[in-house]
Amino acid sequence: MNQWLLVVNVGSTSVKTQAFDVSLQSQAVLVADYGDTGHVSLDGLDGCGRVVNEQLGVMDDVAAVLAAVLARWQAWLAATEAVLVAIGHRIVHGADWFETITPINPAVLVRLAELDAYAPLHNPFNRLGVEQTLVRFPDIAQFALFDTAFHRHLPLFAKRYAIPESLSATPAFFRYGFHGLSCQHSLSTAAQWLGVMPSALNLIILHLGGGASATAIRAGLSVDTSMGFSPTEGLMMAGRCGDIDPMILLTLQQQGMTLAELNRVLNHQSGLQGVCGDTDMRRILQHAQAGDAKAQLAIDMFCYRIKKYIGAYCAVLGNVSALVFTGGIGEHAAIIREQIVAGLEPLGFVLDDTANQNLNLKTGGDISGVGSRARVLVIPAAEERVCAGLMLGLLGHDG
């Protein structure tokens, strides 16, 4: 009997879904991308190994797209005669309320609705995925998996903001951190590659994609991370500004900018987009190589801010077992890795240029150079597989 675990990740511009068997091998994947235009494209691989590449035209909202995706999964399950044993939902923000994989029940649904205040750009979409999937698959065990959970036990001195604690009870303003599922995968994979237990590792993990974060791990536990109360803090990203002087926002508000306009600027019109007018690092690199000064500035700013966090986290950790690159940019942009690591030899990081340029993009690998005191690793992200593995563990499967 072919048993599947389905992972659902609903965002503001895409619905990502993937099914795994109980040995954590991918069985089918379906991604609906609708960006800012409303034109929906479906891509993936169905349960019979056939490539999916379709255009669904324009759909009114995320709910309609999600309904179309879930209907495909119902049809695929029927066609393959696979048995769906569990569904996991990736949830961006769990605040201080959730620190591990959580079975979904009516009380949890109430809590999920309350979390909308913590991540209004993300959690409402995540919750919509939960609600629609419960309707489509009412008899299947379903679980919430939180990106904040990995950072749940940050030290208070790293977690607390230097503002009055009484400002807000809900939401509570603390550093929660994100990309936790990605960090968990990087930690466990680095431990396997280096032949040690996760608790023996001090890591700096750079998850570099449309969203970007740096995380410091001491003895297998997150002790600091660049994203904070929201994913907007920290590194420069595709459309997010990252660290910014808060007085800029007050000044813009005094000049008449509304809250909605501020939100759009901070989360969609800043970062790479704000500096060079593009969010795709592949195109930005091409433009820079062709002499585009704004594109080169965006690259230099992106790498410089990451380099500063690496230095800070080296100070926090004392000694570092490995520097880990993951995420779309971290895995695929060799020139970005080169620019970030350049000059970090005094901190113990040396790159092997040949290994960096000839990296196996599917498996990643060790790109450390001769004399590097710490390893430099590229680990392909696999958050969905992490979700499936956590479900298997809770259900009592070996995985």
State the catalytic residues: 147
DSSP state of 199: G
Strands (E), the chain: 3-10, 14-20, 26-33, 39-45, 51-58, 83-91, 102-103, 141-146, 203-208, 212-218, 221-225, 322-326, 365-366, 375-378
| Residues 6+ positions from 81 with CB-CB distance below 8 Å | 2
Structure tokens at 249: 């926002």
- Paired with 6 in beta bridges are 19, 87
Structure tokens at 135: 């309707």
User: Phi-psi bin for 51: left (phi > 0), alpha (psi -120 to 50), beta?
Assistant: beta
Distance separating alpha carbons of residues 273 and 241, to the nearest angstrom: 9
Distance separating alpha carbons of residues 62 and 218, to the nearest angstrom: 39
| Residues 6+ positions from 59 with CB-CB distance below 8 Å | 34, 38, 40, 65, 68
